[in-house]
Amino acid sequence: MLRYRRRIPDAAQGILVTSVFLLAALTTTTLPAQTHGLPRSAAVSGTLRDSATGHAPTKSRVCVFIPTGPSVFQARCGAIDTSGNYRLDSLPPLGMHVSVSCESIGGMGKELAYDSVVFTDSVVLRRDWVVSTAGCDHRPVRRVAGTFRGHYTSGFESSEFVPCPADAWFIPGDLLGVYAFDARRAWATWPNGVGKGLKWPDAPRDRYGNSRYYVRWRVTIIGPGHYGHMGVSPFEFVVDTVFELRSPGRQDCR
């Protein structure tokens, strides 16, 4: 059995509440009991559509906020696929907020719709949303692989790569004038094993004590969007192979 309540969430865990849903449908389906002594669990599934186009918005996700204490929630999130479908499994039979959101142009995200529900039995909650996606970031995400030169700064809050001008990968439509920092910057990530055995030379440090290097490496660039610490970088830079690593100099990008 499902008891349904609607109210504004006490805490949206960083997702901005900026729109009201236009249409939603609610149905329930019984889940089969789990075996091997495991507890029964609930799930939420459904679709998300743009009310203007009927298409699925890009860069969108669904989250449930499970209460763990007074006004304290644990977020469980999953991506909504390109067809607009989503599902979150293994949810506890508790009251929770269900929210769908998109990545926004000028911020970390925009909440598109929400509801509060209480599971009193093991059920699948189906929620189909038709919403206005005005303000969502509709720029397509691309993946570009290649070899690039530029300057890399390593740090918890500033793991960034700024390419040499001739090696830039973006196009004007990627930028839209929304980034407070260098729009070419990318958040550099190192998959397991990549970079092992590299010899890091002495290099100048920024005001936070992070070293800045000149690098030439093969990478995959993902974006545009909001990546890294607080979403400050418009691209993600996944390192594959490092060909050159040294202290920066005047001849770096010539």
pLDDT tens for each residue of 205-229: 888 889 999 999 999 999 888 888 7
Cβ neighbours of 52 (radius 10 Å): 11
User: Mean pLDDT across the stretch 54-69?
Assistant: 89
Clarify whether residues 76 and 101 are in a common domain: yes
Residues 6+ apart with CB under 8 A from 254: none
Clarify whether residues 179 and 220 are in a common domain: yes
254 in a structural domain: no
Clarify whether residues 152 and 98 are in a common domain: no
Mean pLDDT of the chain: 78
Whether residue 112 has pLDDT greater than 90: yes
Work out the pLDDT band at 133, boundaries 50, 70, 90. Answer: very high
136 in a structural domain: no
> Which domain does 195 fall in, by range?
142-246
CB 211 within 8 A of CB 200: yes
Clarify whether residues 167 and 221 are in a common domain: yes
Clarify whether residues 121 and 13 are in a common domain: yes
Clarify whether residues 217 and 102 are in a common domain: no
Clarify whether residues 118 and 71 are in a common domain: yes
Q: Which of 19-28, 128-137, 139-148 has the lowest mean pLDDT?
A: 19-28
Exposure pattern of 33-46 as b/e (b: 16+ CB <10 Å)?
Answer: eeeeeeeebbbbbb
